[in-house]
């Protein structure tokens, strides 16, 4: 029963959050721009390295408008961003959208597949571990989780390659595909990278769900529901789980965003043509405009994930949703 008052309040909150996300992104774009500005030398010097002299440098600077003042350049960049124009790559001399676009698609496919399979599994495992806490089931689930969240993902990846690809020969190890390969081909190749990402993701999220669930199971309303004579499944799924997930949603989003940073290493390990590997190459090539664009893109992913989590929490939590409409 969402009445008008509640709806308008909800709407205002949503607009507020979206506005805040845009403000954050705006500030992030300034910080990213400033950070790159602060580095010694400009983009052309960095890219040309030893050859940054005379006419060559001047040409490059003219081409990338480096002869203008930083504030002017930020203005041009920001105006371009607003229209979806990210600028030009120095190395590849083509629009950044063309460079980033297909690789971004590949990374999104990788991330969404891992999250889509991983999150439900993590929630289920977390609930099971919490219910059987301090018992054998919990011991094994938690132990394996600690293992996968501690060891570096390049080790997990390397081990998975040796196991599933070299030893058992079940899945392709190194990804060999064109950047703009059709989706079906992408799916046929991403088994191991998805598995690597998923293991880390499940480990982290499962731990959160478990501890949140344990807290909720110790709460008074769960005790009350028990004493009301509720069957166990009802108690877990209807009374405990929603309340355990609420505080975890934000953490899960933050975690996924953080894991997306780890995509960088996983993509290098599997030679996967995504945005993570692109960013490593861009830095190695000193292609600063490209680095700048990728950094902003990743920040945008982070901010939108947070926004999504905020909105989801808002939708699911009656307390937040109806704060102002108290009797």
Partner 1 sequence: MSGAEQTMRLVLRSTSGKVGVALVIFHIVLAIVSPWVVPYDFNAQSEVLEHMGPSLAHWGGLDTLGRDVFTRTLLGGREALLVTIFGTAIAMVWGSLFGMFSGFKGGRTDEFMMRAVDTFLAIPFMILLLLVIASFGNSVIVLMLTLGFLYGIGVIRLARAATLGEVTKDYVLAAQARGESVWVILLAEILPNIRDALMVEAAMRWSWMLLAFSALSFLGFGVTPPTPDWGLMIANARIYMPLAPWPVLLPMIALSSLIIGINLMADALAKSLGLDRVQRMPL
Partner 2 sequence: MSLPLLKIDGLSIGYEGADGVAVPIVNQVDLQLEEGSTLGLVGESGCGKSTLLLALMGYYDSGLARLAGKVALLGKDPGALNEADLQLFRGGDVALIPQNAGQALTPTLKIEAQMLEALRLHTPLPAASRQDRILQLFDRVQLPDPANLLGRYPHELSGGQQQRVALAMALAGNPKVLLLDEPTTGLDVTTQQAVLALLSEIALESQTAMVFVSHDIGVIGAVCERVAVMYAGEIVELGACNQILQHPRHPYTQALLSSIPKLGQAWAFKAPTSIQQGQDRRLSGCAYAPRCEYVGPTCLKQKPRLTRDQDREVKCVQLSEIARMVAPAGGHKGESKMVGQEYVLSVNNLSVSYDHTGWWPFASRQERKLTVREVSFDIVRGQTLGLVGESGSGKSSILRTLIGLQKSFEGEAQLLDKFDLTTPVAHRSKACLSKIQMVFQNPDASLNPRQSIFAALARPLRIYFRLSEPEIRAEVERLMAAVQLPMEYSARYPGQLSGGERQRVAIARALASKPDVLLCDEITSALDVSVQASIIQLLKDLKDAQGLTLLFVSHDLPVVMALADDVAILQRGQICESGRVEQIFNAPEHPYTQSLIKAVL
Q: What is the 3-state secondary structure (H, E, C) of 111-171?
A: HHHHHHHHHHHHHHHHHHHHHCCCCHHHHHHHHHHHHHHHCCHHHHHHHHHHHHHHHCCCC
The reply on whether position 66 binds partner 1 by CB under 8 A is no
The reply on whether position 295 binds partner 1 by CB under 8 A is yes
- The greatest distance separating any two alpha carbons of the chain, rounded to the nearest whole angstrom, comes to 84
State which residue, 68 or 324, has the beta carbon closest to partner 2. Answer: 324
Stretch of residues binding partner 2 (CB under 8 A), selected from 97-105, 140-148, 202-210, 233-241: 233-241
Binding residues for partner 2 restricted to 187-226, rule: CB under 8 A: 219-221, 223-226
Residues 6+ apart with CB under 8 A from 22: none
Give the SS3 label for residue 95. Answer: strand
Question: 């063309």: which residue's tokens?
Answer: 98
**Residue 251 in tokens:** 């953490």
Instruction: Identify which of 15, 12, 20 has the alpha carbon closest to the alpha carbon of residue 306.
Output: 20
Q: Are 245 and 309 in contact (CB under 8 A)?
A: no
The reply on whether position 135 binds partner 2 by CB under 8 A is no
Binding residues for partner 2 restricted to 12-31, rule: CB under 8 A: 12, 15-16, 19
State which residue, 140 or 187, has the beta carbon closest to partner 1. Answer: 140
Stretch of residues binding partner 2 (CB under 8 A), selected from 92-100, 146-154, 186-194, 237-245: 237-245
Stretch of residues binding partner 2 (CB under 8 A), selected from 26-34, 190-198, 299-307, 311-319: 311-319
CB of 317 to partner 1, least distance (A): 17
Q: What residues line the site for partner 2 (CB under 8 A)?
A: 1, 12, 15-16, 19, 219-221, 223-232, 234, 238-239, 242-243, 246, 316-319, 322, 324-327
């Amino acid at each position: 029963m969402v009445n008008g008052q509640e709806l308008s309040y909800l709407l205002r909150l949503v607009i507020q959050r979206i506005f805040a996300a845009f403000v954050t992104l705006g500030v992030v774009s300034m910080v990213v721009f400033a950070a790159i500005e602060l580095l010694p030398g400009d983009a052309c010097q960095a890219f040309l390295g030893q050859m940054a002299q005379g006419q060559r440098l001047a040409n490059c600077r003219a081409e990338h408008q480096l002869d203008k003042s930083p504030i002017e350049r930020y203005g041009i960049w920001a105006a371009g961003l607003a229209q979806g124009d990210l600028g030009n790559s120095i190395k590849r001399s083509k629009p950044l959208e063309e460079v980033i676009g297909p690789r971004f698609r590949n990374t999104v496919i990788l991330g969404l597949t891992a999250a889509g399979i991983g999150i439900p599994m993590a929630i289920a495992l977390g609930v099971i571990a919490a219910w059987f806490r301090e018992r054998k089931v919990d011991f094994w689930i938690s132990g394996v989780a600690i293992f996968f969240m501690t060891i570096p993902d390049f080790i997990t990846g390397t081990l998975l390659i040796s196991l599933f690809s070299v030893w058992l020969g079940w899945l392709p190890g190194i990804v060999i595909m064109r950047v703009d390969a059709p989706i079906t081909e992408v799916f046929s190749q991403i088994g191991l990278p998805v598995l690597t990402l998923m293991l880390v993701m499940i480990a982290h999220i499962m731990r959160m769900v478990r501890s949140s669930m344990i807290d909720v199971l110790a709460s008074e309303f769960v005790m009350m529901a028990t004493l009301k004579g509720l069957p166990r499944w009802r108690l877990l799924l209807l009374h405990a789980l929603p309340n355990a997930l609420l505080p975890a949603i934000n953490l899960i989003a933050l975690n996924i965003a953080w894991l997306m940073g780890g995509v960088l290493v996983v993509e290098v390990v599997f030679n996967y043509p995504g945005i993570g590997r692109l960013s490593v190459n861009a830095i190695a090539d000193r292609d600063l405009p490209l680095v700048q664009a990728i950094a902003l893109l990743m920040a945008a992913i982070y901010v939108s994930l947070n926004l999504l989590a905020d909105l989801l929490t808002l939708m699911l939590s009656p307390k937040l949703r109806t704060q102002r409409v108290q009797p």
